[in-house]
């Protein structure tokens, strides 16, 4: 809900949606957004719904942009292809931003053993994330730019990695 709150407070966004597989997380987001206190006009811009990015859902369509912030690492690797097909192939937003932990950076966290969260199915290296995002971009007609988020370590990169996908004009992949 924290990111959604920022989007909702930005008048330039005419429609903001949040999706999660967890009903509890959606309830928390609704409380954080104070949906019950919003004006009717502002509340009409916001939609929260329960769904999974591995299944086609018509509610995913029609957006200029999608943000998968710290999402992909919670998906079982055999299901990533379904996520790609749903987000990039069916919903086809003009831009997609994907962030995920940089697994290489974990050695800098004192006391961390394993991954950063018990629900993470994997944490990619920078090379693995670049390979995945380049493949997705080529498959679905997007250009992709790779960036880091957070303090840069000269050897290990940044704690979070980001791919910014931009749909190529005329692309019907």
Phi, psi (rounded to 5 degrees) for 18: -125, 135
The pLDDT, as a whole number, for residue 43 is 84
Q: What is the pLDDT of residue 10?
A: 87
Cβ contact 86:53 at 8 Å: yes
Res 146: pLDDT: 98
Give me the tens of pLDDT residue by residue for the chain, a chain 173 residues long.
788 888 888 888 889 999 999 999 999 998 888 888 888 888 888 999 999 999 999 999 999 999 999 999 999 999 999 999 999 999 999 999 999 999 999 999 999 989 999 999 999 999 999 999 999 999 999 999 999 999 999 999 999 999 999 999 876 65
Task: Report d(CA 27, CA 15) in Å as an integer.
Answer: 19
**Lookup result for tokens 């930005």:** 10
Task: Give me the pLDDT at residue 170, please.
Answer: 72
Q: Do 56 and 86 contact (CB within 8 A), yes or no?
A: yes
Distance CA 103, CA 141 (A): 27
Strand residue runs (E) in the chain: 16-20, 46-50, 65-69, 95-101, 142-149, 160-167
State pTM to two decimals: 0.91
Tokens found for residue 93: 């937003």
């Amino acid at each position: 809900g924290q990111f959604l709150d920022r989007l909702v407070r930005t008048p330039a966004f005419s429609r903001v949606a949040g999706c999660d597989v967890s009903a509890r997380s959606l309830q928390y987001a609704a409380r954080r957004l104070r949906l019950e206190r919003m004006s009717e006009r502002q509340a009409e811009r916001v939609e929260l719904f329960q769904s999974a990015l591995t299944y086609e859902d018509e509610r995913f369509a029609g957006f200029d942009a999608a943000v998968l912030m710290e999402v992909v690492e919670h998906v079982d690797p055999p299901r990533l292809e379904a996520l790609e097909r749903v987000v990039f192939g069916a919903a086809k937003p003009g831009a997609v931003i994907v962030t995920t932990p940089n697994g290489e950076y974990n050695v800098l966290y004192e006391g961390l053993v394993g991954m950063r969260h018990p629900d993470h199915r994997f944490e990619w290296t920078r090379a693995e994330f670049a390979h995945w995002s380049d493949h997705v971009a080529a498959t679905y007609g997007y250009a992709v730019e790779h960036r880091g988020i957070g303090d840069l370590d000269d050897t290990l990169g940044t704690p979070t990695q980001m791919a910014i996908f931009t749909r190529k004009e005329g692309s019907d992949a």
